[in-house]
Structure 1
């Protein structure tokens, strides 16, 4: 819990450091919305938080060189915990609004709901995952308290952000737009997401003044 009721500064974090083994191509570069998906997520987050960082492995950094705010993994380990903990190590007093790069259907509606409900006295604010009825760790606001617990768990070989949230005092929300939490990790799931986007009304594009070139 954050001491003295002080609300931590909130920044955005896009997790791009996965190896995309099942997708067979870098998920952050897929163009669901006519541009690399990391750029689409960046524009979404820039509407809500003043600073957004990309989390990636060291060998990926060159492909994001057009964007200045990058946190490369400083923690050994696979999976999203490495990105979360590297961000926490770089800026330990910051709360992070986290998005994974494999969320093709996410829109500003879910982010607005998450931010409106944020309780900084909780360890995190998250949506319930209807896929496994537990907190969704990769569309969530991680307060420093939750990241400190993840750090402790990671040191003992417990490498699962979801299990960390299950052991914390988390505000869990029901998302009325549940399909926005759909993860596309395989070519078949990518095609399913593209079909969903084809069948749905086009999303309102992010504000043009928040494009990467203007930062």
Structure 2
């Protein structure tokens, strides 16, 4: 039986399985807040949710040794969809608050707002991107139905979480703290984030 709507428990998922090619170093290990970025995001989520997991590649598991809740990629897909769908395969009746690991400015206030705005009758709840006014697929709550739709799209060769959101019924709203949605994917963006954090 598939659990939908408000019956789906909400858990946290930090996506750390990328190769960080543009950054030229592991984005999940960058120290913006006195600790590795993955640990910062896990700690943020743990302050709000009962269970938080880390999504990673099989070869990364030693990097997170000691953290009990790992979700190694278990599906034959690449990109962030691999992390999302591996978590869905592990717990298909769970809704996931998903965060990319490249969000150095993100704070608890944005996450509290996202959780408060959750509409479990939709396939997902997310913010409008301040960059392109499109949904933010990797600062989002994905309901089981949304992840099932993603699985169907990826299986059909459409490996794009944002396009899945655009083609389904989602709860979408503007974040008054939109600056926190900044992605740091390059050394230049890392430097920009560090400068902002010093203010």
Name the counterpart of 1:125: 125
Q: What is the TM-score of this pair, normalised by structure 2?
A: 0.97
Post-superposition CA distance 1:174-212 (Å, at most 9, x none): 10111110000000000000011011xxxxxxxxxxxxx
1:192 pairs with 2:169: no
Which sections of structure 2, spanning at least 5 residues, go unmatched?
none
Task: Give the whole-Å Cα distance in 1 for the aligned partners of 2:191 and 2:76.
Answer: 32
Name the counterpart of 1:209: none
1:16 pairs with 2:16: yes
Name the counterpart of 1:90: 90
Name the counterpart of 1:30: 30
Q: CA deviation at 1:5?
A: 4.5
The CA RMSD measured in Å over matched residues stands at 1.1
Name the counterpart of 2:59: 59
Q: What is the TM-score of this pair, normalised by structure 1?
A: 0.90
Q: How many residues align?
A: 198
- Please, which moves more after superposition, 76-85 or 2-11? 2-11
Q: CA 1:4/1:93 → structure 2, altered by over 3 Å: closer, same or farther?
A: closer
Task: Give the whole-Å Cα distance in 1 for the aligned partners of 2:119 and 2:23.
Answer: 35
Name the counterpart of 2:77: 77
Name segments (4+ residues, structure 1) moved above 2 Å: 2-7
Task: Give the whole-Å Cα distance in 2 for the aligned partners of 1:152 and 1:179.
Answer: 33
- What secondary structure sits across from 1:99 in the alignment? strand
Q: CA deviation at 1:136?
A: 0.2
Which sections of structure 1, spanning at least 5 residues, go unmatched?
200-215
